[in-house]
Amino acid sequence: MEILGLLDHLESIVLDSAKVPFTKKIMVDEEKLLSVIDKIRMVMQGGSGFTAGRVASKPDGSEPEAAAAAAEDERRPSQEGKAAEIMEQAYKMSKEIREGADKYADEVLANLEATSTRILRTVKAGRERLEKTTQIGSEK
């Protein structure tokens, strides 16, 4: 059945899509995805007229490809809006990740500074004690 082949193609598009870092989301080529969905709709509406990547003409003589192209033209503005929205979300997400990384780096550096200060105090105290011990030993 042609629909199973189209569903396999749809699945391969999803599986081969780029992953969004730090999420379980993917970026899908919207045109490919919508094209396959349109083909599935045409196969379901027109029976088994789908062969070798083309959909046969409807019995009334109209071309389904022309209808699909018209539908695609109608979807373009909304697709561009969705693309802009996705880009905005990606920028927000990257800003949040950057801010989180900066906060983490600041915490690590503050911890390192506190630890280094304690170690430096211990070293100074040890040297002072050693100096006192050396002075007492040299006086005898």
Q: What is the pLDDT along the chain (140 residues), one digit of tens a residue?
A: 588 888 888 888 888 888 888 888 888 888 888 888 888 888 888 754 444 344 444 444 445 566 666 666 666 667 778 888 899 999 999 999 999 999 999 999 999 999 999 999 999 999 999 998 888 777 76
Is residue 111 classed exposed, middle or buried when 0-12, 13-18 and 19+ CB atoms within 10 A define those classes? exposed
Total number of residues shown for the chain: 140
Contact 20, 26 (CB under 8 A): yes
What pLDDT shows up at residue 69?
64
| pTM more than 0.75 | no
Query: 67, 39, 64: which is closest to 53 by C-alpha?
Result: 39
* Bridge partners, residue 54, by sequence: 51
- Residue 13 CA to residue 35 CA, distance in Å, equals 11
